[in-house]
Structure 1
Amino acid sequence: MTTPDPHTRTAKATSATDAEFTEFYRASVKPLVAFLILQGATLAEAADVAQETMTKAYQRWETLDHPHAWTRRVASREFIRQRVNQPETPTDPLPHSPLLRTGDIEGWELTQDLVRALATLTPRQRQVMAWMLTGHTPAEIAQELGLTDGAVRQQVYLARRTISTRLEGRP
């Protein structure tokens, strides 16, 4: 009776892990970039943070139970860390991003208006709304951000009120 070669078993396991991560990466990196843009990142900032986050995810892949939530949490925290440590400088208006196009011009215009409206929110409100707009519940957001459910709901309320006021003048 022969014992299986541990190196062969490891190579097969690594190959399966790589394939699994590759599938996750391809399905998740663009939505992660869009998630960061909703929080106020430029396309370049969002792409950099997303890539760094995916590198960390690959290094921890075997231990991640909820990789989608983990990557959003890590990317969101890293983006905020970079913004806090970066002095504010005036910039040109947001460029139109092909990442956020919905296919029809009206949907695209609404998305651009929403992104501009999100830019007027406080950083916490933008962060909470980015989580909401990517399909998370207030309870999930509270858990991910270390807030109370009530605090999340209050931020959503204030953000929606600000966005609604901002979009009222829109035809």
Structure 2
Amino acid sequence: MADAEFAALFVDLAPRTRLHLLYLGAQPAEAEEAVQDAMLSLLQALRGGMNVQHPKAWVRMVAARNFFRRKTTTTIRETLVRDVPDFAAPHSMDAEVATAVDVLEALKRLPARQATIMRLFAADYSVSEIADLLEMTPATVRSNLRHARKKLHLLLLG
């Protein structure tokens, strides 16, 4: 890959990956550092002859792993739950947005581990990827997903 192609890829991927990490609970400086490291790893991999078929997915996963490795599991859980935004519902809100607000509010009421796992799962991480990121078994992730879904169902439907 030529330097110009990589620069264009960087301009495309870096902001999206940074937003993804912010969604996962990173602070802006943490997100920026993880993105820089991931893009540098991609450049080194490409220059080393590695065939990266899906660079967007590759960078996203490497950046998330970089972020999670820098955090302790406790800090991750506290950050992800604490940083779910508060919403004041405007009167003109449509049903889909209202439902999303309700789900975010319900996420705040889940235990920290369950909220973390639900947010990662909602961000299209597989059970095995979540298990790797949070250093737990896939069975534990599935169990937490099951309990979180059950609790969310009760919180949302009553």
TM range (shorter): 0.5 to 0.7
Letter in 1 for 2:28: A
CA contact (8 A) 1:54 1:71 kept: yes
CA contact (8 A) 1:50 1:75 kept: yes
CA distance in 2, matches of 1:54, 1:110: 31
CA distance in 2, matches of 1:139, 1:72: 14
Normalised by the length of structure 1, the TM-score is 0.64
CA distance in 2, matches of 1:81, 1:144: 9
Where does residue 112 of structure 1 map in the other structure? 101
CA contact (8 A) 1:117 1:167 kept: yes
**Poorly superposed stretches of 4+, deviation over 6 Å:** none
Question: Which segment is superposed worse, 17-26 or 153-162?
Answer: 17-26
How many residues in Structure 1 have an aligned counterpart in Structure 2?
A: 139
Higher relative contact order (CA 8 A, sep 6+): 1
Where does residue 66 of structure 2 map in the other structure? 74
Where does residue 37 of structure 2 map in the other structure? 56
CA contact (8 A) 1:138 1:153 kept: yes
CA contact (8 A) 1:49 1:79 kept: no
Identity %: 20
**In the alignment, structure 1 residue 32 sits paired with structure 2 residue 21:** yes
CA distance in 2, matches of 1:70, 1:133: 18
Letter in 1 for 2:124: G
Letter in 1 for 2:87: H
Unaligned segments of structure 1, at least 5 residues: 1-11, 98-103
Where does residue 151 of structure 2 map in the other structure? 162
Letter in 1 for 2:149: R
Unaligned segments of structure 2, at least 5 residues: 46-51, 53-57
**In the alignment, structure 1 residue 16 sits paired with structure 2 residue 5:** yes
Normalised by the length of structure 2, the TM-score is 0.68
CA distance in 1, matches of 2:101, 2:27: 17
CA contact (8 A) 1:57 1:71 kept: yes
